[in-house]
Amino acid sequence: MNTIRHDWTKEEIIALYNKPLMDLLYEAATAHRQFHDPNVVQVSTLLSIKTGGCPEDCGYCPQAARYHTDIEGNDLMTVSQVKAQALRAKSSGSSRVCMGAAWRNVKDGPEFDQVLEMVRTINKLDMEVCCTLGMITENQAQRLAEAGLYAYNHNLDTSEEYYKEVISTRGYEDRLQTIDNVRKTNVTVCSGGIIGMGESVEDRAGMLVALASLSPQPESVPINALVAVDGTPLEDEKPVEIWDMIRMVATTRIVMPLTQVRLSAGRTQMSREGQAMCFFAGANSIFAGDKLLTTPNPDVNEDMKMFEMLGLIPQKPFAKKSQPKTVEAEESEFKAMGEKPKWTRPGHSIERNLKASGKI
Ligand code: SAM
Ligand code: DTB
Ligand code: SF4
């Protein structure tokens, strides 16, 4: 069957997730082979261009200012620092760079202009450029598109119902709005979530319903296993079982067959065998480099050995879509147009966030 379905129900997805493992793997691998080369995996490098001090209260995040974690905060990197890091990533086999900033949302001004210059610079290195900067308006998404942005990452993180247990400073609707703003441009959408935050299988399925119902579906879906960081409200969550990761990847692959499914945070806890099963189940993208944004990731050389052992080949840049054309800043029609975005702020507080921030 070649059609992409946007009408998956939660019950159907739960039934898939709970199938006998061999049946689930077979179905996922079959869907995978219909649209992707099973021996090709995209290698992407994360770069934290602005670290820590974030005003949001995402319960998993070591970069939220209100939690007491050990990370070292940094102001926005310079364009030349970013260029040097991108060249390093390219020489170690990455075809994509994803720049993350610990911002609630993008603000027009010199810092955003600097990010636009970073995007232009990496695009000129013939690498796919992705950004994850928090909420953005349509105008900002358009300016990123003109700078040559390939993808924008903004995760739904979990189901709409469980979301309220994890984050109170922005709503699910806000996240969907940012995804929609990106979708109105030619920038591809990267959106996924985290497992291991105490959510149920129903919540995992709920997140997949929300992602699969987007039309078109996101070009890229990262599946993160929670990295439980000391000082965050989720510090005591139990590590994700590899079987849960395999089932989540396989189910994602079946409901979003065209998408790049990314085996994201949490790989340091996974054996090579476990990761190999995730690739078999349809994962075809990883983050490489010894650091994610602030937490450890497997050593690049170890990853390359794993690729060799499994016969995997790193994907070339722009294998799925042509390279975006950069519009020089002075020709832009979309210079900041004074948009005033309204974000919703659900007026509730979450007990475990208050506990972690020492307010109760
Ligand atoms: N501030 C921006 C935002 O929230 O959109 C961009 C950066 S934020 C760190 C990007 C994503 O990283 C989050 O949406 C979340 O899914 C993931 N993430 C953050 N901390 C994590 C953790 N401890 N374990 C797993 N994934 C995490
Ligand atoms: C995504 O879904 N995972 C990446 C990327 N998008 C930006 C981030 C993972 C962060 C893990 C925690 C950290 O290193 O701070
Ligand atoms: Fe801030 Fe992003 Fe971390 Fe949330 S996930 S606290 S928005 S950096």
Which atom of ligand 3 is the closest one to the Cα of 61?
A: 3
Sign of dihedral through CA atoms 226, 229, 232, 236? Answer: positive
| 145 neighbors 186 (Cβ within 8 angstroms) | yes
Instruction: Spot the catalytic one: 96, 98, 143, 278.
Output: 98
Ligand 3 neighbourhood includes 102 CB (under 6 angstroms): yes
Residue 48: beta bridge partners?
A: 100
| 281 neighbors 246 (Cβ within 8 angstroms) | yes
Is 96 annotated for ligand binding? no
Q: Whose CA is nearest to atom 14 of ligand 1?
A: 155
Residue 15 structure tokens = 């039934």
Ligand 3 neighbourhood includes 104 CB (under 6 angstroms): yes
- The tokens 């086999």 sit on which residue? 93
Alpha-carbon span 139 to 213, nearest angstrom: 24
Is 278 annotated for ligand binding? no
Closest ligand relative to 296 C-alpha: 2
Find the residues whose C-beta lies inside 6 A of ligand 2.
46, 62, 98, 100, 132, 153, 155, 192, 222, 224, 227, 264-265, 292-295
Of the chain, the end-to-end C-alpha distance in Å amounts to 54
pLDDT of residue 284: 97
Is 54 annotated for ligand binding? yes
Q: Letter for the amino acid at 226?
A: L
Q: How far is the CA of 144 from the centre of ligand 1 (A)?
A: 20
Alpha-carbon span 357 to 162, nearest angstrom: 20
| 206 neighbors 95 (Cβ within 8 angstroms) | no
| 249 neighbors 257 (Cβ within 8 angstroms) | no
Tens of pLDDT, residue by residue, the chain (360 residues) = 558 999 999 999 999 999 999 999 999 999 999 999 999 999 999 999 999 999 999 999 999 999 999 999 999 999 999 999 999 999 999 999 999 999 999 999 999 999 999 999 999 999 999 999 999 999 999 999 999 999 999 999 999 999 999 999 999 999 999 999 999 999 999 999 999 999 999 999 999 999 999 999 999 999 999 999 999 999 999 999 999 999 999 999 999 999 999 999 999 999 999 999 999 999 999 999 989 999 999 999 999 999 999 999 999 999 999 999 988 877 888 877 767 776 776 666 777 777 776 766
| 315 neighbors 42 (Cβ within 8 angstroms) | yes
| Cis peptide upstream of residue 222 (ω within 30 degrees of 0) | no
Ligand 3 neighbourhood includes 54 CB (under 6 angstroms): yes
What is the 3-class SS of 125-146, one letter each residue?
CCCEEEEECCECCHHHHHHHHH
Q: Which of 194, 230, 287, 294 is the best mutation target for the ligand 1 pocket, counting ligand atoms within 8 Å of the beta carbon and taking the most?
A: 194
Alpha-helical segments (H) within the chain: 10-17, 21-35, 79-91, 110-124, 138-147, 160-166, 172-183, 201-212, 242-255, 272-280, 300-310, 351-356
| Cis peptide upstream of residue 216 (ω within 30 degrees of 0) | yes
Closest ligand relative to 286 C-alpha: 2
Instruction: Spot the catalytic one: 170, 183, 190, 204.
Output: 190
- The tokens 């992705």 sit on which residue? 130
Q: Phi, psi at residue 281, to the nearest 5°?
A: -75, -5
pLDDT of residue 37: 98
What structural domains does the chain harbor?
10-319 (3.20.20.70)
